[in-house]
Chain A
Amino acid sequence: MIEAFFNIEIMKAAWPIVLTGLWNTILLSLIVVPLGLLGGLILALLASIKHPLVRWPLMAWVDFFRAFPPLVLLVLLFAGLPFAGLELGGFACVAIAFFLNTGSYYGEIFRAGIDSVPAGQVEAARSTGLSRMQSMRYVVLPQAVRNVMPDLLSNTLEVVKLTSLGSVVAVPELLYEARQAQSITYNPTPIVMAAVIYFLLLWPLVRLLSRLENRALAGRH
């Protein structure tokens, strides 16, 4: 058992490869999380224009990308785009797929946040002469983000986990590198290493999330 899953020799040998994977996972997260947040913010701001010509296409967009499995989306981009003459590479495909998929999720969260801010806040801001955009930026958004912080964090947690999908399109992130190491060493120990690293990477976020959720619950009483 220990030979197979916790083999010290293999750990030593696989460490540099797994470490490369870890850095790439972190790098990937640092790209796709802000990208998803940006996409989400744009969607939510568009949604605050309550015009039917904006609302319906937007709803269709969000529904579509929330219903579409991100793995399928990723494979479609990676395998399909070259036939349209676009050779983007795994990394770019992951970035686009996440922008579309997680952006839609972040968008719904931001939208709920914006809706949670009482209308009186905007009325007060507008009555002092602030424009619609200024009211959104200085009055509504700061409160909206604070109100949905647990959901934003929870979604971010999922996004970081989802970066492991990159392994399917040969992005050398943590899971991909661990599998490489496994196939070289004929031993599953590198996969165990990856699992432990994922846990150590995400556990602080999980703790932070429960603290935020508890505080949100306490704040309601």
Chain B
Amino acid sequence: MTSHIVDARAIHKHFGTLHVLKGVDLKVDERELVFVIGPSGSGKSTLLRCLNRLEEPSSGSIMVDGIDMLDPRTNINHARRRIGMVFQSFNLYPHMTALGNVMLALRKVAGKSRGEAESLAHAALKRVGLADRADHTPGQLSGGQQQRVAIARSIALEPRVMLFDEPTSALDPELVGSVLEVMRDLRESGMTMIVVSHEMGFARNAADRVVFMDDGLIVEQGPPGAIFENPAHERTRAFIGQIQRH
């Protein structure tokens, strides 16, 4: 038995004639924060989306928290409760309040009563610093606040793993900090996190491991210091040089 909470092996993904993932292995330990970086089109978002099967891998195997994600007998809706996901474009439900956004899955998936779901949702919003915005609709919130509500929507279900797909890329620079702060807080509480992002400062401070992907493959991985200061591969060096210039 392995102790990896996420164990993805030989993941391939084809989109028509496009070969996006070319045999990716990714193992993540419990409480680990893994950063995935790489140029656009390198397959990092697709890899993330394969882990909770928003994208169907063409082949390979994925175990998350002991559940075989690709087994047709697996109840995918139950399995997904254990895997939170935060999107670049927030994807909050615009017809509901912040509280309603957090409550929906608590009620319909976790089967909580209205009262219970409400208090859990309030607690989750408080955790992301938005207790006073519970009754606001997404349209009345800033981008940073929307993303924090999206994080609350995920953590309210008490997932075992959180996936972040470029969580700060759509934000104005002055709003990035508030989201990273929430992510740091989550990390300190021991959440296992896989983050696709180019926030190098955050990676340096918080990540246990940085994975560099290019052209559908993991090129190299290691502690942030090693990857950023002393990459083994030329492609990694070039990429890091590029984003550090910005």
Given contacts A120-B87, A124-B150, A129 and B80 within 8 Å (CB-CB): yes
Is the Cβ of B83 less than 8 Å from the Cβ of A124?
no
Size of B's binding interface in residues, CB under 8 A: 25
Binary CB contact string for chain A from 124 to 142 against chain B (1 if under 8 A, 0 otherwise): 1111111100100011001
A146 in contact (CB, < 8 A)? yes
Whether the Cβ atoms of A128 and B87 lie closer than 8 Å is no
Query: Which residues of B are found within 8 Å of A118, using beta-carbon distances?
Result: 89, 91
- On whether the beta carbons of B94 and A143 are closer than 8 Å, the reply is yes
Q: Does A121 contact B (CB under 8 A)?
A: yes
Is the CB–CB distance between B95 and A130 below 8 Å? no
The bracket for how many chain A residues form the interface is 10 to 19
Tell me the residues in window 98-139 of chain B with beta carbons closer than 8 Å to chain A beta carbons: 104-105, 108-110
A3 within 8 A of B: no
User: Which chain A residue shows the least CB distance to B106?
Assistant: A128
Assess A120 versus B95: contact at CB under 8 Å? Given A128-B81, A129-B105.
Answer: no
B242 at the interface (CB under 8 A from A): no
Which one of A121, A124, A129, A146 lies within 8 Å of B81 (CB-CB)?
A129
Separation of A143 and B84 alpha carbons in the complex (Å) = 23
User: Is B157 a contact of A123 with CB atoms below 8 Å?
Assistant: no
Would A142 and B89 count as touching, CB distance under 8 A?
no
Pick the residue among B54, B83, B84, B93 that contacts A121 (CB under 8 A). B93
Does A128 lie within 8 Å of B105, measured CB to CB?
A: yes
B8 CB-CB contact with A under 8 Å = no
Q: Which residues of B contact A134 (CB under 8 A)?
A: 108-109
Among A123, A125, A146, chain B packs the most CB atoms within 10 A around the CB of A123
Interchain nearest-CB distance for A149 vs B (Å): 12
Which chain A residues numbered 88 to 147 have a C-beta less than 8 Å away from chain B?
A: 118, 120-121, 123-131, 134, 138-139, 142-143, 146
Q: Show the binding face of B for A, using Cβ within 8 Å.
A: 52, 54, 77-78, 80-81, 83-85, 87, 89, 91-95, 104-105, 108-110, 150, 153-154, 157
Known: A127-B83, A128-B81, A130-B104. 12 other contacts (CB 8 A): A118-B91, A120-B89, A124-B85, A124-B87, A126-B54, A126-B77, A128-B84, A129-B78, A129-B105, A129-B157, A138-B108, A146-B95
Q: Please tell me if the beta carbons of A129 and B109 are within 8 angstroms of each other in the complex.
A: yes
* Residues of B contacting A125 in the complex (Cβ-Cβ under 8 angstroms): 93, 104-105
Identify 17 residue pairs between A and B in the complex whose beta-carbon atoms are under 8 Å apart, listed by A's number: A118-B89, A120-B87, A123-B87, A123-B91, A124-B93, A125-B104, A126-B77, A127-B52, A128-B104, A128-B105, A128-B153, A129-B77, A129-B78, A130-B77, A130-B105, A134-B108, A134-B109
Residues of B within 8 A of A139 (CB): 93, 104
Q: How far is the CA of A131 from the CA of B108 in the complex (A)?
A: 9
Instruction: Tell which of A120, A130, A143, A146 touches B108, judged by Cβ atoms closer than 8 Å.
Output: A130
Which of B80, B89, B94, B95 lies in contact with A128, CB distance below 8 A? B80
Interface core residue of B83, B89, B91 (most chain A CB under 10 Å): B91
**Smallest CB gap from B104: residue in A:** A138
Contact (Cβ within 8 A) A120 B91: yes
Chain A residues with CB under 8 A of B104? 125, 128, 130, 138-139
